[in-house]
Amino acid sequence: DTSAIPHPRWRVPLVGDVIGTSRRTPVQDTMRLGRDLGPIFTRRFLDREIVFVGGAGLAAELSDEKRFAKHVALGVEELRTIGGDGLFTAYNEEPNWKAAHEVLVPAFTQSAMRAYHPAMVDVVGELVGKWDRGGVVDVSADMTNLTLETIGRVGFGFPFDSFRRERAHPFVRAMIGSLRHAQRKGFQLPLAAKLFGRAAEERYRANVAYLAEVVDEVIRARVDSGSADRPDLLDLMLASGELDEVNVRNQVITFLIAGHETTSGALSFALHYLSRNPAVAEKARAEVDAVWGDAEVPAFEQVTKLRYVRRVLDEALRLWPTAPGYAREAKADTVLGERYPMKAGQWALVLLPLVHRDPSVWPEPERFDPDRFEPAQVKARPGHVYKPFGTGERACIGRQFALHEATLALGTVLRRYELVPDPDYRLRVVEMLTLKPDGFTLTVRRR
């Protein structure tokens, strides 16, 4: 029963809360609604009602693993067509989740990151090779090149040659097409689906088939060449003997997507804020100069020591958590916030950009301020109110990977370039299940 929960005023019979909603920007539309409706609210689309949580207190409660668990819903559920029982889209009770989790956890330890560091440095070197030519750069596109290249090579020994292409790799285009389709499907009205659905559905199938084809090629290349010089994700999976062929394919596709879209967005937002906050950029740059000195390329530890650069990333992910939400279901009948009954299996979507801007926790929430992540300030905040990487057992396995890769890239860019923003640019956020700045360019000049 959701009758105690507020909902938008203009609820249209049959269709639901569609006024002021675009299929292109569901997250930002819902953020606007949430500002008026409070920490918990519902939206109805046709016969589906979704409970959203945007308040930090309720979100923290949903992190309680004894009472709540991940729920595969909405966009994540749509992605099962692509990721199947891969880690991200697996249902909690699917045996392959635990099997793959156990096989892959060793690939994300600190010592694993140390082993990936040289390959990550190589890829950042290719970005620099391009940016050294100077001029105007398309930041979101180049961050996507960087992160796809990194997960492709580090995870699977598979180069996409991203920096040598004029257009994005066809894998990226197919992936973006699929993500867009998965996002829009949830908002489509039946008539529109009938009129436009078939062609879109066919394109979607073709895209998904192409993604699988690329991945099969990646796997075949490995089987043919034997194991990699350094054991990577693919080796771990193939050598374990724990995962069937279809599941390995699902994992590879999952990692290629989950492993780069979100990190690319995080880097782009961070660069946007750095270019708009010269004092922050100066402080970050001073840290990089001090820690890296004249080292031609930074050593692993020199990246982990960039505490302020890390805070810039943390703060970018606070304002724009690039995976903007996750769903939590009740394990048994319970009452949320001492007020809202939830039956076993009933779920709510945690909308992170609202949780991360809850003014009861974050003073002046719209202001970009990396100092919020100084240890003293972190300690003074309640727990479980900052969740860009999700929560509990099903939280992001790639968190350390993303943070090392992104800190290395930001450090390199800060040390090497002045970042000159386009004075007319106003941040526009595009949504394709994940978030990223749209049409965001910078002029880069060697320091």
Which tokens in the block code for residue 309? 């650069």
- The nearer residue to ligand HEM, 68 or 340, going by C-beta atoms, is 68
> Does the annotation mark 156 as catalytic?
no
Residue type, 91: Y
> Does the annotation mark 25 as catalytic?
no
Question: Residue 393 CB, nearest distance to ligand HEM (Å)?
Answer: 7
Considering only residues 265 to 284 of the shown chain, the ones binding ligand HEM according to CB under 6 A are 266
Report the C-alpha gap between 324 and 435 in whole angstroms. Answer: 7
- For residue 217, the surrounding DSSP H or E stretch is helix 190-225
The reply to whether 258 sits near ligand HEM by the rule CB under 6 A is yes
From the centroid of its chain, how far is CA 333? Answer: 31
Helix, strand, or coil (residue 406): helix
Q: Which stretch binds ligand HEM (CB under 6 A): 135-143, 158-166, 262-270, 271-279?
A: 262-270
| Under 8 Å between Cβ of 220 and 120 | no
Report the C-alpha gap between 208 and 175 in whole angstroms. Answer: 8
Question: Residue 260 CB, nearest distance to ligand HEM (Å)?
Answer: 7
Binding marks (x or -) toward ligand HEM, 397..436, rule CB under 6 A? Answer: xx--xx----------------------------------
| Under 8 Å between Cβ of 77 and 183 | no
Among residues 327, 333, 323, 295, which one has the least CA distance to residue 69?
A: 327
Question: Residue 443 CB, nearest distance to ligand HEM (Å)?
Answer: 25
Residue from 394, 413, 436, 441 touching ligand HEM (CB under 6 A): that is: 394
Helix, strand, or coil (residue 156): helix
- Residue 6 exposure: Cα atoms within 13 Å on the Cβ side: 13
Among residues 362, 396, 366, which one has the least CA distance to residue 382?
A: 362
Binding marks (x or -) toward ligand HEM, 298..327, rule CB under 6 A? Answer: ------------------------xx--x-
Beta strand pairing call for 417-421 and 40-45: unpaired
Which tokens in the block code for residue 328? 């939590």
| Under 8 Å between Cβ of 362 and 397 | no
Among residues 147, 141, 175, which one has the least CA distance to residue 402?
A: 147
Residue from 347, 389, 417, 440 touching ligand HEM (CB under 6 A): that is: 389
Q: What CA–CA distances, in Å, run from 246 to 58, 86, 209? A: 38, 9, 13
Binding marks (x or -) toward ligand HEM, 115..154, rule CB under 6 A? Answer: ------------------------------------x---
- Per rule CB under 6 A, count of chain residues that contact ligand HEM: 26
Select which of 41, 156, 160, 389 is catalytic: 389
Considering only residues 31 to 70 of the shown chain, the ones binding ligand HEM according to CB under 6 A are 70
- For residue 282, the surrounding DSSP H or E stretch is helix 278-292
The reply to whether 250 sits near ligand HEM by the rule CB under 6 A is no
Q: Which stretch binds ligand HEM (CB under 6 A): 5-13, 169-177, 206-214, 390-398?
A: 390-398
Q: Which stretch binds ligand HEM (CB under 6 A): 13-21, 115-123, 258-266, 284-292?
A: 258-266
- Residue 237 exposure: Cα atoms within 13 Å on the Cβ side: 26
Select which of 144, 150, 262, 434 is catalytic: 262
Binding marks (x or -) toward ligand HEM, 73..112, rule CB under 6 A? Answer: ---x----------xx------------x-----------
Beta strands in 275-389 (DSSP E): 325-330, 334-336, 340-342, 347-351
Select which of 68, 158, 396, 440 is catalytic: 396
396 labelled ligand-binding: yes
> Does the annotation mark 68 as catalytic?
no
Q: Which residues are annotated as a binding site for heme?
A: 396
- Enzyme catalytic residues: 262, 389, 396
Using CB under 6 A as the criterion, which residues of the chain lie in contact with ligand HEM when the complex forms? 70, 76, 87-88, 101, 151, 254-255, 258-259, 262-263, 266, 322-323, 326, 388-390, 394-398, 401-402
